[in-house]
Chains A and B, each alone.
Chain A
């Protein structure tokens, strides 16, 4: 086995926990097949699906600032075909070779304050890199958590959990295949969102020890062309109160809004562009009047009225949980009150 391969095997063995017998392997043909398989297990991404223990060659990862999805826990994994690597990019998602897969499982613990206990897996979304581009498909976990089944038309799953000690019922939404593209879209083509340098540039507790993810990806051969982590961009952790307010807010907007709100995204026609690299303060919403907000305007004048969160449409729409008003349009049914607080503080700070 060559260097990267051996690394991957070692990681898989370590991550795969109590493996007995040969390590389960990913099925490359399943990733490339025209028809996506009915069951998640057919890909072989997991040594133990219920425990979210990845198979050999499947690397777990985490993001500096995640998308809010009704408080769901997320377990993310990347798989690349043996010998292939993704090409590093400074600002956009890495360029993944054909045969790659990005795997993300959404789950809820019985109590959100105890994320490691009594976790129920809800769905696993898979992005498959095929000849013709990325292909998105979602699998919903069964009651005994033994496998997950493909749902083309999406689903609503009733979830019961606790937030800050109070019971919380969520009508959790599994997206249909088109809704996947509602966010994962770049100039009309399906695209990954999470694996960008700025969002991956952080430490991760691998079984072999803590390591920066970009460095680790390079080391195990998943990524090529990456600079030293110190030279790569790094997004703020939006929840890190020690980080600068502007950096936290911009990181939050970048991840939660900018997949649509960018010139290449589904909301390009709004002219409101929220990527962390956006320099034009009007495009960023400052004193920008709405164009197609409808009742989403909330009778307010500007997307962002500097210093005045209560006259800012952006704040109004993030606060709302009402379809037709709330932003983002997909992926949540609840309001993220901590994000609202962050955005209010940020808008308040603007002049």
Chain B
């Protein structure tokens, strides 16, 4: 395979501040940059890098990378801008289908579909990249900003996403995941961990989204049974953007002003987060609300432990159908933490095993409601929500920290 490195680009590489090894390919902005960039992503040899210079790259086709052990590095998310405003093909801006890939220091703008997707990657790193829809929140924006799916060992660090019509940072059907030091704003969902195993989501700022952080498990998918998720030390504040997701998508149900929402899933730990000014509620634990046909699906959250968070004002303006459903039972302002109280029918009539229960251990003054939706449905005239937070005290053993091979872990 030919690697097209002209004398001038080689000289340029020498002149640039970063160290460029012989097999690295440097792509500068300018004439034919789109074709040169895609050709570089195809021709790059394992163990080397594609270095994208500063400037604006106008792309009409989606980019893709299928070579293992490659770094794609820009000159900084504010410097190297891949604009897909004129995109005419492909479902995303950049698609990665190989292993041991690092994406670093560039921006992706205005993709017609998703921003950056990885499918089936092992050891995929998104570091200091940004994905932005420059027109602000719009239904016609792409669904996901940073979108690893069916991947393993996913590291998302220092990422910025804005304007996604589904989730800014979305990790689906993946395992061993770290999302940290990132910022998601003006998306429908800031960060979403869906049908995934072992995820640590920490030290992120999620603000001005419809909902901040979602931990979901959905039916009829090849990978189900998400579990062992830790959401901690995040700032989940002022999520106040009206839901702009196209209907039919599950996030279209999320009310404006949701902090953290856990739907289905197992062994989810929410702690040390700062919640403030989320108008519907700060924390919602809920069952999957739709009908489905899937015998392997567990539709209620199992084993959730919410503790040591701080709660500012919130719940004062419950939004949408879900907000109404909640506040009709709980009253307004909606409590800080809400559980729909849905259990499986056999458990409703017997008991729930200790490891599958909902535990809440928060500072004095934190408000809570178990909406007891099932009782409410069966006996609407005599069921009141249970707001005695003390009754849910207890704890669950915390999953160990997620270790990623590309992040100094095993």
Contact = CB atoms under 8 A, between A and B. Distances in A.
B45 to A, nearest CB: 13
Interface stretch (B109-117, B331-339, B346-354): B109-117
A333 interface: yes
A153 B42 contact: yes
A289 B143 contact: no
A37 interface: no
A265 to B, nearest CB: 10
B64 A176 contact: yes
A298 B139 CA distance: 10
B60 A156 contact: yes
Contacts of A35: 1-2
A173 B89 contact: yes
Contacts of B43: 152
Contact of A176 (B42, B60, B119): B42
Nearest to B140: A295
A166 B376 CA distance: 63
Kindly name the residue among A35, A188, A323, A329 whose own CB sees the greatest number of chain B CB atoms within 10 A.
Answer: A323
A156 B90 CA distance: 13
A61 B294 CA distance: 42
Kindly name the residue among A269, A294, A301, A313 whose own CB sees the greatest number of chain B CB atoms within 10 A.
Answer: A294
Contacts of A176: 38-39, 42, 61, 64
Contact of B112 (A263, A287, A323): A323
Contacts of A330: 89-90
Nearest to B98: A188
A154 B142 contact: no
Nearest to B99: A188
Contacts of B170: 292
B271 interface: no
Contacts of A181: 66, 97
Interface in B216-264: 218, 220-223, 246-250
Contacts of B89: 173, 323, 329-330, 333
Contact of A297 (B39, B88, B120, B247): B247
A233 to B, nearest CB: 25
A71 interface: no
B24 interface: no
SS class of chain B's interface: helix, strand, loop or mixed? loop
B65 A178 contact: yes
B35 A269 contact: no
A133 interface: no
A294 B249 contact: yes
A324 B38 contact: no
Nearest to B151: A269
Contacts of A113: none
Kindly name the residue among A152, A154, A292, A330 whose own CB sees the greatest number of chain B CB atoms within 10 A.
Answer: A292
Interface string A284-307: 000111111111111111100000
Kindly name the residue among B61, B89, B119 whose own CB sees the greatest number of chain A CB atoms within 10 A.
Answer: B89
Contacts of B65: 178
Contacts of A269: 119, 149-150, 172-173, 221-223
A244 B230 CA distance: 52
Contacts of A182: 64, 90, 95
Kindly name the residue among A35, A182, A313 whose own CB sees the greatest number of chain B CB atoms within 10 A.
Answer: A182
A299 B247 contact: yes
A162 B96 CA distance: 38
B144 interface: yes
Contacts of A313: 248
A171 B88 CA distance: 9
B6 interface: no
B293 A290 contact: no
A290 B90 contact: no
Contacts of B140: 295
A24 B327 CA distance: 80
A271 B38 CA distance: 29
Contacts of A219: none
A293 B66 contact: no
A234 interface: no
A246 to B, nearest CB: 20
A94 to B, nearest CB: 24
B91 interface: yes
A324 B111 contact: yes
Interface in B53-108: 60-62, 64-66, 87-91, 95, 97
Contacts of A156: 60-61, 88
A323 B87 contact: yes
B292 to A, nearest CB: 8
A14 to B, nearest CB: 38
Nearest to B150: A269
A27 interface: no
B166 interface: yes
Interface of A: 34-35, 152-154, 156, 171, 173, 176-179, 181-182, 188, 263, 266, 268-269, 271, 282-283, 287-302, 313, 322-324, 329-330, 333
- Nearest first, the 8 closest Cβ-Cβ pairs linking A and B are A294-B143, A324-B112, A297-B248, A324-B113, A178-B64, A329-B91, A299-B247, A323-B112
Given A178-B66, A296-B113, 20 more contacts: A35-B1, A152-B39, A153-B35, A178-B42, A188-B120, A269-B150, A287-B293, A288-B220, A289-B290, A290-B248, A292-B143, A292-B166, A294-B144, A295-B141, A298-B248, A300-B248, A323-B88, A323-B112, A324-B142, A329-B113
21 contacts: A35-B2, A152-B43, A153-B36, A156-B60, A178-B42, A178-B95, A181-B97, A282-B220, A287-B293, A292-B172, A294-B246, A294-B249, A295-B140, A295-B141, A295-B165, A296-B246, A297-B248, A299-B246, A322-B112, A324-B112, A329-B89
